[in-house]
Chain A
Amino acid sequence: MVKQTQVQLLEVRFEHSGEGAYLLALAGNWTRSAMRANDQWQAFFERIPSSIGAAGRLEFDCRALDRWDMRLVSALAQMLRLSNEIGCEVDLRGLPEGIRGLFDLAAAVPEAEGRGSGDRRDDWLENLGHHVIAIVQGFWNYNAFLGELILELLATMRGKTSIRARDFWLAIQNAGPMAVPITSLLAFLTGLIIAYIGVLQLHKLAADIFVADLVGLVMTRELSAVMTGVIMAGRTGAAYAAQIGSMRVNDEIDALKSFGISPVRFLVVPKVLALVLMMPLLVALANVVSIFAGMLVAVGISDVTIPQYHFQIVNAVGMNDVLVGLFKSLVFGFIIALAGCYRGLRCGRDAAAVGQATTSAVVTAITWIVIVDAIFAVLLNILGI
Chain B
Amino acid sequence: MRSTTEESDNRVIMVRDLEMRYGSYLVMSKLNFDVLRGEIKVIMGGSGCGKSTLLRHLIGMEFPTRGSIVMLSQKVSPDDAALTRLRHRFGVLYQGGALWSSMTLAENVALPMETFTRMGRKEIAEVVAFKLALVGLSGFGDRYPAELSGGMRKRAGLARAIALDPEILFVDEPSAGLDPLSARRLDELILALRDSMKTTVVIVTHELDSIFTIADTALFLDAESKTAIADANPNELRNGTADAPERVRTFLRRGAAPQFLAQAEEIDYD
A: residues with CB less than 8 A from B are 31-33, 67-70, 97-98, 100-102, 104-105, 113-115, 167, 170, 246-247, 250-252, 254-261
A260 adjacent to B84 (CB under 8 Å): yes
B240-268 CB mask vs A (1 if < 8 Å, else 0) is 00000000000000000011110110011
B53-82 CB mask vs A (1 if < 8 Å, else 0) is 000000111000000000000000000000
Other A-B pairs beyond A32-B269, A69-B267, 9, CB < 8 Å: A67-B268, A69-B269, A97-B260, A101-B261, A254-B92, A255-B100, A259-B88, A260-B87, A261-B112
Write out the residue numbers on chain B whose beta carbons fall within 8 Å of the beta carbon of A258.
59-61, 87, 90, 92
Write out the residue numbers on chain B whose beta carbons fall within 8 Å of the beta carbon of A70.
267, 269
Write out the residue numbers on chain A whose beta carbons fall within 8 Å of the beta carbon of B111.
259, 261
Write out the residue numbers on chain A whose beta carbons fall within 8 Å of the beta carbon of B258.
101, 104-105
A255 adjacent to B267 (CB under 8 Å): no
**Also in contact, A251 and B264, with CB within 8 A (given A70-B269, A258-B61):** no
Write out the residue numbers on chain B whose beta carbons fall within 8 Å of the beta carbon of A113.
25-26
Is the CB of B149 closer than 8 A to any CB of chain A?
no
A342 to B19, CA, bound (A): 30
A256 to B116, CA, bound (A): 13
Docked complex: B23-40 residues within 8 A CB-CB of A: 24-26
Q: Chain B interface residue count: which class? A: 35 or more
Is the CB of B147 closer than 8 A to any CB of chain A?
no
Write out the residue numbers on chain B whose beta carbons fall within 8 Å of the beta carbon of A115.
25
**Also in contact, A98 and B260, with CB within 8 A (given A32-B270, A114-B25, A260-B87):** yes
Is the CB of B8 closer than 8 A to any CB of chain A?
no
A251 adjacent to B259 (CB under 8 Å): no
Q: Tell me, rounded to whole Å, the shortest Cβ–Cβ distance linking B168 to chain A.
A: 12
B: residues with CB less than 8 A from A are 24-26, 59-61, 83-85, 87-88, 90, 92, 94-96, 98-102, 111-112, 115-116, 160, 164, 258-261, 263-264, 267-270
A255 to B61, CA, bound (A): 10
A250 adjacent to B101 (CB under 8 Å): yes
Write out the residue numbers on chain A whose beta carbons fall within 8 Å of the beta carbon of B259.
101
Write out the residue numbers on chain B whose beta carbons fall within 8 Å of the beta carbon of A68.
267
Write out the residue numbers on chain B whose beta carbons fall within 8 Å of the beta carbon of A32.
269-270
Instruction: Specify which of A33, A100, A259 is in contact with B112 (CB 8 Å cutoff).
Output: A259
Instruction: Specify which of B92, B96, B270 is in contact with A250 (CB 8 Å cutoff).
Output: B96
Chain A interface secondary structure, helix, strand, loop or mixed? helix
A70 to B267, CA, bound (A): 8
Q: Tell me, rounded to whole Å, the shortest Cβ–Cβ distance linking B28 to chain A.
A: 13
B25 adjacent to A252 (CB under 8 Å): no
Write out the residue numbers on chain B whose beta carbons fall within 8 Å of the beta carbon of A101.
258-261, 263-264
A251 to B160, CA, bound (A): 14
Write out the residue numbers on chain A whose beta carbons fall within 8 Å of the beta carbon of B264.
98, 101-102
A257 to B206, CA, bound (A): 25
Write out the residue numbers on chain A whose beta carbons fall within 8 Å of the beta carbon of B260.
97-98, 100-102, 104-105
Give the residue name and chain of the A residue nearest to B112 (CB): A259
A104 to B259, CA, bound (A): 12
Write out the residue numbers on chain A whose beta carbons fall within 8 Å of the beta carbon of B88.
259-260
A48 to B47, CA, bound (A): 38
A257 to B100, CA, bound (A): 12
B263 adjacent to A98 (CB under 8 Å): yes
Write out the residue numbers on chain B whose beta carbons fall within 8 Å of the beta carbon of A247.
100-101
A167 to B107, CA, bound (A): 12
A32 to B270, CA, bound (A): 7
Write out the residue numbers on chain B whose beta carbons fall within 8 Å of the beta carbon of A259.
87-88, 111-112, 115-116, 164
Write out the residue numbers on chain B whose beta carbons fall within 8 Å of the beta carbon of A167.
102
A251 adjacent to B98 (CB under 8 Å): yes
Write out the residue numbers on chain B whose beta carbons fall within 8 Å of the beta carbon of A100.
260
**What are 27 A-to-B residue pairs whose CB atoms are below 8 Å?**
A31-B270, A69-B268, A70-B267, A70-B269, A100-B260, A101-B259, A101-B260, A102-B264, A104-B258, A113-B25, A114-B24, A114-B25, A115-B25, A167-B102, A170-B102, A252-B100, A254-B94, A254-B98, A255-B92, A255-B100, A257-B87, A258-B87, A259-B88, A259-B112, A259-B115, A260-B84, A260-B116
